[in-house]
Amino acid sequence: MAPHALDYHREESIHSKTFKQFDKYMLRRKGYRKEMKVRLYHSRAQGTIKSYTEVVRDYVIYMHEEEHAEAFPVTESSLRRYIDSLDLYEDRSKFAKIKPAMMFVRKARSDPEFSFNSTDLILEGLLREIGARCKKEYKPDRTTELNVRKFILRGLYGPSFKAPYNENMVEFRTALRALLSLFCLSRCSDFMQLRKESIRFEDGHVLIIWGKRKNDQRSNTKVSLVPELPLHPMCVYRAFQHFIDKTELKEDQFINCKLTRRGKALGDRGIARSTCYANIKTLCESIEIDQITEKMCKSLGTR
């Protein structure tokens, strides 16, 4: 059985760009110890922290450049003026994040409470209406569920979309990560913890032993049992066998491993989350579709 994985890797976290931005803007002049900063950083998913930090960073810059005043503690009046400065169309993605981001930064900094329900700052209905009126322009030919399957098949089989399997192991690894989100509803962080010893092939099934997952912190391990699908192009069983054979993966190496130019597993550490997302973006651009996310794969997998 795979060893229990740490909830986070401290040294990797403190050197990341996201953590430095979080420390600079969220915890500005608080003087917390480094361990406390890391715990606060990992109190939410990395994507959530990144989106909150972007909002708070924008607010801090506004207060310094436009108001020439201290950004913290956040008050109703300062937040109201910041919201008034936003463009309804260009900044539409920020409106829905303002309330959770400001509530999070208040708790992280232990600042005084403030209300979101005053006469001049009614965010709940107002921001929902703004979001409805200023929707992103969709491209109907690029937003179908077929894009998820196209993305996975492109990564598994290459530009031909048909057997044999893709020789580009970087693309194959990217598709394999999405394939597990489709079949096992896994997150990127779940896939990053998997080692070769976490994968077992038994009686025509692949047994995947997960570490501690974000939505189940009380359990040490979870197991997914996926049957072999002999005639299915997106067979998890055969995809894992091919990837392990081609990369010559060792027992203690990560499935999300670094790869040499020849597609062989390199070292005992996996690639960063940012590299995972960059690989997805590159693969999507190769077939001219909007970027695929793990949530798209998971939502398709539940239907």
pLDDT score at 156: 95
Q: What residues have CB less than 8 Å from 254, skipping those under 6 apart?
A: 192, 193, 194, 195, 268, 269, 270
211 token code pair: 């570490």
Domain count across the chain: 2
pLDDT category, 235, cuts 50, 70, 90? very high
Q: Please check whether residues 297 and 180 belong to one and the same domain.
A: yes
Is 9's pLDDT higher than 70? no
pLDDT score at 2: 37
Range of the domain at 177: 140-301
The residue among 77, 101, 133 that closes a domain is: 133
The CA distance from 53 to 295, in Å, is 21
pLDDT tens-digit series, residues 202-232: 999 999 998 776 655 566 678 899 999 988 9
Q: Please check whether residues 111 and 53 belong to one and the same domain.
A: yes
Is 71's pLDDT higher than 70? yes
The CA distance from 280 to 270, in Å, is 16
In a domain, 289, yes or no: yes
pLDDT score at 244: 94
CA distances from 121 to 51, 113, 124, 161 (A): 22, 15, 9, 52
pLDDT tens-digit series, residues 15-64: 888 899 999 999 988 889 988 898 899 888 888 899 999 999 999 999 99
User: Which of 133, 120, 78 has the alpha carbon at shortest distance from 102?
Assistant: 78
In a domain, 5, yes or no: no
Q: Please check whether residues 53 and 144 belong to one and the same domain.
A: no
